[in-house]
Amino acid sequence: MAEKSLANQRVVVKVGSSLVTKGGQGVDMESIRAWAAQIAELTSQGCEVVLVSSGAIAEGMKRLKWAKRPKEIHELQAAAAVGQMGLVHAYEIGFAEHGLVCAQVLLTHADLADRERYLNARSTLYSLLGHKVVPIINENDTVVTDEIRFGDNDTLGALVTNLVEADTLVILTDQVGLYDSDPRKNPDAKFIHEETAGNPILEKMAGGAGSSVGTGGMITKILAAKRAARSGAATVIASGHEPNVLVRLMKGESVGTYLKAPLGRLAARKQWMADHLKLKGSLLLDAGAAEALRKKKGSLLPIGVTGCQGNFQRGDVVACLSPEGDEVARGLVNYSALEVRKIAKQPTSAIESILGYLDEPELIHRDNMVVLA
Ligand SMILES: Nc1ncnc2c1ncn2[C@@H]1O[C@H](COP(=O)(O)OP(=O)(O)O)[C@@H](O)[C@H]1O
Ligand SMILES: N[C@@H](CCC(=O)OP(=O)(O)O)C(=O)O
């Protein structure tokens, strides 16, 4: 099943608390070593991997010698701050054994809801991937509360999948995948091999967390798959204990539950832009730039832009108009209208001397653009 293989893909792998900490006993170095080995193999085969890891609270509780999970959010936040140290320490050791450098990235949903911070996070993650660094993401638990309450790292995994436009979200958990009811409660539960992400039937099958350490349960994974599908990504839910699970998925083996995305990436992105984003202005292109965008050649650079209309900010959606006034494309712009007026018609090399800084070399990156013509 070639389309299910992870080969050459950009993949977000999410690992849950009970896996990472052996059900709360503390960081499971053996599993971390195993995932690092598999991720090293994936990257050597051309995959780009982003890891979303839970486990900070569970590890923090162990370090603080707390037997019972506290109810107070600020205590959980304190535990997360302590435990995050243990997590990144373990990942650093595990990845270094395979010659890989990793990076800690702490994000909140609010970071990704703000268009400017969204673009900043995306640029950082792309830079890290470009340097063959494995980003290891967790919630910034010190400053958020709802995520701790709801165990929303599954959602964070999906948001990161949308952010980096990954092909696949792999959610590793303590079950071999999704059953038609919670297998801890129903020994006759039937295994679901494949379904379409977003099918409402899935939400009826999924229950809450099964262990005292995990928080979201299957329902947050099903909703994460639905969200990941919005950018055209498929989701696999599989066991993190399955030997060589990531490498086997890369080779196209059917492991766990496969939730396919109903729309391809480009169609999904077009729909998302059409549904969610309001035009805030327009860039006026010269004939050469309009032609290049129509032929889907690269990003839009300031040299091909003669001016702009509207009062947009970095991260807003703008239309790209040909000299005849036809909308050729639309996308997320990297500079404000004020800045565009200064750098229009200029080569990229001049941006820094004109503005005093360089946010991005292009006005709209190809990945943030939908060509309409
Ligand atoms: N339909 C279902 N299929 C499989 N597992 C389910 C289902 N409904 C609820 N669960 C529970 O979800 C748990 C996994 O979620 P969770 O405990 O939050 O783990 P994680 O820490 O990996 O996010 C399983 O151990 C299982 O008991
Ligand atoms: N940020 C929290 C994650 C909470 C969470 O979503 O946990 P899980 O349901 O195990 O993925 C932590 O690191 O403990």
- Every domain of the chain and the residues it spans: 2-268, 277-371
Residue 14 bridge partners (DSSP): 52, 171
Give the pLDDT confidence score for residue 2 in this predicted structure.
Answer: 38
pLDDT confidence band for 1 (50 / 70 / 90): very low
Was 221 annotated as part of a binding site?
A: yes
Ranges assigned E (strand) in 141-261:
168-173, 194-196, 234-239, 257-260
Q: Give the model confidence (pLDDT) of 50-88 as tens digits.
A: 999 999 999 999 999 999 988 888 999 999 999 999 999
Evaluate: CB of 139 within 6 angstroms of ligand 2.
Answer: yes
Does 151 have pLDDT greater than 80? Answer: no
CA-to-CA distance for 320 and 141, rounded, in angstroms? 39
Give the pLDDT confidence score for residue 117 in this predicted structure.
Answer: 84
User: For ligand 1, what atom is nearest to the CA of residue 15?
Assistant: 22
Residue whose CA is at the smallest distance from ligand 1 atom 4 = 178
Average pLDDT of span 105-113: 86
Pocket test for ligand 1, best of 174, 178, 221 (most atoms within 8 A of CB): 174
Residues in Cβ contact with 188 at an 8 Å cutoff, skipping those fewer than 6 apart: none
CATH annotation of 277-371 = 2.30.130.10
CB 61 within 8 A of CB 24: yes
Count of Cβ atoms closer than 10 Å to residue 100 Cβ? 20
Q: What is the pTM of this model?
A: 0.82
Assigned fold of 2-268:
Carbamate kinase (3.40.1160)
Was 251 annotated as part of a binding site?
A: no
Does 197 have pLDDT greater than 50? Answer: yes
Was 218 annotated as part of a binding site?
A: yes
Give the pLDDT confidence score for residue 32 in this predicted structure.
Answer: 97
Share of the chain above pLDDT 90, in %: 71
Evaluate: CB of 55 within 6 angstroms of ligand 2.
Answer: yes
CB 229 within 8 A of CB 268: yes
Count of Cβ atoms closer than 10 Å to residue 71 Cβ? 7
- Rounded to the nearest whole angstrom, what is the distance from the C-alpha of residue 264 to the centroid of ligand 2? 29
CB 103 within 8 A of CB 91: no
Q: Give the model confidence (pLDDT) of 230-270 as tens digits.
A: 889 999 999 999 999 999 999 999 999 999 999 877 677 66
Residue whose CA is at the smallest distance from ligand 2 atom 7 = 151
Q: What is the mean pLDDT of the chain?
A: 90
Residues having CB within 6 Å of any atom of ligand 1: 16-19, 54, 151, 173-175, 178-179, 181-184, 205-207, 209-211, 214-218
Was 54 annotated as part of a binding site?
A: yes
Helix, strand, coil shares, percent, the chain, to 5: 40, 20, 40
Was 141 annotated as part of a binding site?
A: yes
Average pLDDT of span 111-139: 90
Confidence check on the interface: ipTM exceeds 0.85, yes or no: yes
Average pLDDT of span 326-339: 93
What single-letter DSSP state applies at residue 286?
A: P
